[in-house]
Structure 1
């Protein structure tokens, strides 16, 4: 087979075209990420490290309090940025590059955006909230109940601390005894009677029918009052005692709304209830 000048010129053009493809190309689409086409199937390989800066901001920034969320979101927000909130679990999510408002005057312009740059505040529950909700409606022996009261005495505002400490100490003293009766008084409190042996004089412990806690729901958040009804069962000389928090979900909602309002005020945006998918 012979080659003339025209064949040689065509071959050179083909080789030049191949060489051009082998070099880094600027992507024509909006993310602008450069790429090269390499041999062995000529697949596309993106070359992120060739540019001094990323073509666009992506990632999720995770923060631990509302003040940090506001500071970061305000630093990065754009006209299209939005904030979402969900309560179960409690979370505030800011989407910096959310979809833009559709532009009716431009054909095929629906405002689509990447939604890939986010700032997240997964609102953490306080230790006090986790402690009291973990034991809610769990039947405890008197010693375990007494230890719970002693360890968390500052959380109880009604009755006062000295009264609750006295109750806890009496429960601890009764650990070797048998409970023989429980009677409810006119004021709603309950008197437990226990004996160390069958011939001993009965010892009495007065327990209110309800206590009031005042605890923060979220880390570094405001403290809220929450009622807890005291329940008990005496059987075969054994006392089981527990508490039932009264509508804790409403206290949770109230605390979350406070954080919600703080973020709205400090970012100047109305938060949307829900989450982007």
Structure 2
């Protein structure tokens, strides 16, 4: 056998050895020679091979302070950071934040995203608007649980009085010494001697509405508004600083979180 034949057999043997299957261990990185003469990198370090995640990642969204504290208490470490944003009404925890002596990934986060209640949203949607008598009366009737002063029973009577005069022609309005607003109307407009009457509505009333799901109700003054356009009466209200009430409710939520954690809450937004 010539030296050339020996060299060919040696190369063939190495090629066969490279193609022969071999058992590998999960968790390692291997270089594999292919029949085409290339070298491929095989990475078996992923969780699908090892059955273990390298680190915690993802963003968890909760809707109340109790849920925030539960999740935070389970996953926090000594480097965890908490940020609050009063404009966005949100609280964010970076659970794997940078430590003082080593970096963190910052990829495991917890966010408290408060949801406005249906009642709060509906009061704000009508805030500052003037609507016809029927719609205004129906709104009061639908939101009786939110009315505190005058009480719900009194406001129901007012709503029913407003409904009863939807076809009347209003002629004038005046402010009474009690602070109420009186509207004079004529019910039967077909004759000059039509039945006359008056409708009295309080100048202000108070409501109590929870701004967020899971929050306490916050009280606000609503100032009665009206417009007498000819004989047509439109009604509405203007809420007293509703966004300030929402921020006050957020501050109470933030205080509950601050009392339940052992790290200061930073004012801002994490990078």
Query: How does the TM-score come out when normalised to structure 1?
Result: 0.82
Deviations 1:88-124 (A, max 9, x none): 33222211101212x3xxxxxxx32111111222111
Aligned to 2:85: 86
Residues 127 and 43 of structure 1, relative CA distance in 2, 3 Å threshold: farther
Residues 248 and 60 of structure 1, relative CA distance in 2, 3 Å threshold: same
Aligned to 1:204: 198
Aligned to 2:112: 121
Q: Which runs of no fewer than 5 residues in structure 2 stay unpaired?
A: none
In the TM superposition, what are the counterparts of 1:48-59 in structure 2 within 5 Å? 48-59=47-58
Pair 1:257 & 2:241 matched: no
Query: How does the TM-score come out when normalised to structure 2?
Result: 0.84
Instruction: Decide which of 240, 261, 265 is 1:267's aligned counterpart.
Output: 261
Tell me, yes or no, if the aligned pair for 1:155 and 1:215 is still in contact at 8 Å.
Answer: yes
Deviations 1:107-163 (A, max 9, x none): xxxx32111111222111122211211211121111111111111112111112222
Counterpart-to-counterpart distance in 2, 1:163 and 1:67? 37
Counterpart-to-counterpart distance in 1, 2:33 and 2:203? 77
Pair 1:64 & 2:55 matched: no
Counterpart-to-counterpart distance in 2, 1:36 and 1:272? 48
Residues 129 and 4 of structure 1, relative CA distance in 2, 3 Å threshold: same
Per the TM alignment, residue 172 of structure 1 is displaced from its structure 2 partner at its CA by: 0.6
Pair 1:137 & 2:128 matched: yes
The CA RMSD over aligned residues, in Å, is 3.2
Pair 1:230 & 2:229 matched: no
Q: Which runs of no fewer than 5 residues in structure 1 stay unpaired?
A: 28-33, 104-110
Instruction: Decide which of 178, 181, 184 is 2:175's aligned counterpart.
Output: 184
Counterpart-to-counterpart distance in 2, 1:126 and 1:70? 21
Tell me, yes or no, if the aligned pair for 2:117 and 2:213 is still in contact at 8 Å.
Answer: yes
Length, aligned pairs only:
262
Instruction: Decide which of 143, 148, 160 is 2:151's aligned counterpart.
Output: 160
Residues 44 and 166 of structure 1, relative CA distance in 2, 3 Å threshold: farther
Q: Which runs of 4+ in 1 moved over 6 A?
A: 22-25, 34-41, 43-46
Deviations 1:30-78 (A, max 9, x none): xxxx688898995876743001221111112222221111011101100
